[in-house]
Amino acid sequence: MAVVAPTTDAPAEVPGGEVLPSSSKHAGGGGFRSHLGSLVFLLPGAVWLALIVVYPLIATVIRSFFDASGQNFIALGNYKAIFSTTDIIVALKNNVVWVVLFPFLVTFFGLVFAVLTERIRWSTAFKTIVFMPLVFSATAAGLTWASIFFIDPHTGMVNAAIQGAANAINPPGLYPIDPSTGQTVSGLVATGVETGPGNTLQSKDTVSAGSTIEMGMIGISPETLTTNGATTAVAPTASSGAINGLVWRDFSPTHPTARGQVFPDEDGIPGLHLALLSGSGTSVATTTTAKNGTFSFPNPGSGDYRVQVTATNFQAGFNGIFFLGTQSLTPTSSLNPTLSAIFSLPIVDIAMIIAYLWIWAGFAMVVIGAGLAALNREVLEAAQIDGASEWQTLRRVTVPMLRPVLVVVFVTMLINVLKIFDIILNMPAASSQGGAATLAVDIYNDFSSPTGEGLAAALAVVLFILVVPAMLFNLKRIRG
């Protein structure tokens, strides 16, 4: 009988019954040829990735070492200019504001919303409402929130709400004066009237009981008088023991140069709050003008008096806050210029952060909610059995267990705001664009300028260097 030699593929036996692995290769294992099919499928994607990522990256780095014309090599000149250009320093400061505030806020609100969705019955509707803004582009969100923050209370919802509250507490006068337009109370003086202390008007002459007084004013529009219900002015008549008078708009279309006479086509000024001042300047009585501008102080007593048009008549109402401007929210008058530049916070940054929170809070809620759903419920129940309150359970148990998820959300948002662009380009007012710009916006503006391409390339490299560590850290956390 022939003896068959063992093949090389069979495992070898050694004393003790142990089997050594075969030294031959498995079918289809290792080698370039075995991976050739996979490489062929990956090649188009790799070429496309090289074209849209690798080549622009290398070209941008090279371009950053040349001047604006792209012809002269200037080494690190563009990088030095980054830290000596005022606009770029402002952009760097704005990036710092975003990096310091936004990731913390969006992570916090995402955590709060995620916890709330486990406590309310209508959680699905709540999640839908919070997550829905993420489907809109940052450009659309910026334009939407710009209209919400418009300074005109008739258009901007925020200013309209503030106006309603402010005017309820401190109502405006019927004839408000707006100092921002250069308008003053002295511009209302016409006949028998002079300016008084504290934005008031008063009669030039004194008057006593049983006499009459006429006070002519100009500078009040006919539309305002019509709105306030004005009727034709009527000259006052004297009555025993009383001071009667008239306040009227001393301008007649038929007699445009005449002053001090009441004509039939002149209107009284209704609704004016008046005070009767004694010789010492104290108010002894108050009244309000009728629709035809007449008024009366009955029984004022003996003595000479002046009639005062009080400052409340000219008090301007709330005219809106310029949320889309670069005025500072933080008072820094007591700081030196350097500290003031560091700690001042443009109000437009707050408005944009609110708008960006509206967009990304839903993303943070969903990611943190997924992590929350995966927590070991026995640990949470044990904390409650041990007597921990809801706040203690959240702070000492839930948050520590969610720390990996919170870090991922935080770093993702950090990367996002380092290169924030769309909302800043569309939301601030045109006059505030420079003061609200970030590095990404400066890159866009400089690349649009034929004299700023080298500087823009250097800025892009700096921004890339800032983003890469956060990106690598995030990838490590996700894989871990």
pLDDT value for 333:
47
CA–CA separation, 362 and 350 (whole Å): 19
Q: For residue 215, which amino acid is it?
A: M
358 CA to centre of own chain: 11
pLDDT value for 337:
54
pLDDT value for 13:
53
What's the order of all strands across the beta sheet hosting 189-191?
A: 189-191, 212-217, 242-249, 294-298
- DSSP letter for 305, please: B
φ, ψ of residue 213 in degrees (nearest 5): -145, 140
Query: Of the candidates 316, 319, 324, which has an alpha carbon nearest to the alpha carbon of residue 150?
Result: 324
pLDDT value for 119:
83
CA–CA separation, 455 and 64 (whole Å): 7
CA–CA separation, 283 and 306 (whole Å): 10
Q: Residue 336: how many CB atoms within 10 A of its CB?
A: 8
Measured in residues, the chain has a length of: 480
pLDDT value for 237:
92
Architecture of domain 179-314: Sandwich (2.60)
Assign 332 a pLDDT band (cuts: 50, 70, 90): very low
DSSP, residue by residue, 334-388: TS-HHHHHHH--BHHHHHHHHHHHHHHHHHHHHHHHHHHHTS-HHHHHHHHHTT-
Q: What is the pLDDT of residues 177-211, one digit of tens each?
A: 877 777 888 889 989 999 998 889 999 999 999 99
- DSSP letter for 156, please: -
Same fold, 56-152+339-479 and 179-314: no
CA–CA separation, 382 and 388 (whole Å): 9
The distance between the two most distant Cα atoms of the chain, rounded to a whole number of Å, is 155
First to last CA, the chain: 61
pLDDT value for 1:
44
**Sign, CA torsion 195/200/201/206:** negative
Domains in the chain: boundaries = 56-152+339-479, 179-314
pLDDT value for 172:
87
Q: What is the pLDDT of residues 66-124, one digit of tens each?
A: 988 888 898 988 899 888 888 888 888 889 889 999 999 999 999 999 988 888 888 88
What pairing do the DSSP bridges indicate for beta strands 200-203 and 306-309? antiparallel
The answer to whether residues 312 and 422 touch, using CB atoms and an 8 Å cutoff, is: no
Q: Is 65 helix (H, G, I), strand (E, B) or coil?
A: coil
* Residues 6 or more apart whose Cβ sits within 8 Å of residue 224: 174, 175
Compute the radius of gyration of the chain from its Cα atoms: 38
Q: What is the pLDDT of residues 130-151, one digit of tens each?
A: 999 998 888 899 999 999 999 8
DSSP, residue by residue, 392-433: HHIIIIIHHHHHHHHHHHHHHHHHHHHT--HHHHHSS-GGGH
pLDDT at 155 over 90: no
Q: Which residues of 298-314 are buried (b: 16+ CB within 10 A; e: fewer)?
A: eebeeeebbbbbbbbbb
Q: What is the pLDDT of residues 17-61, one digit of tens each?
A: 555 555 445 554 556 677 788 888 888 888 998 889 889 889 999
Counting runs of H as helices and runs of E as strands, what totals does the chain give?
A: 17, 11
Across 14-75, the runs of DSSP E, i.e. the strands, are: 19-20
Architecture of domain 56-152+339-479: Orthogonal Bundle (1.10)
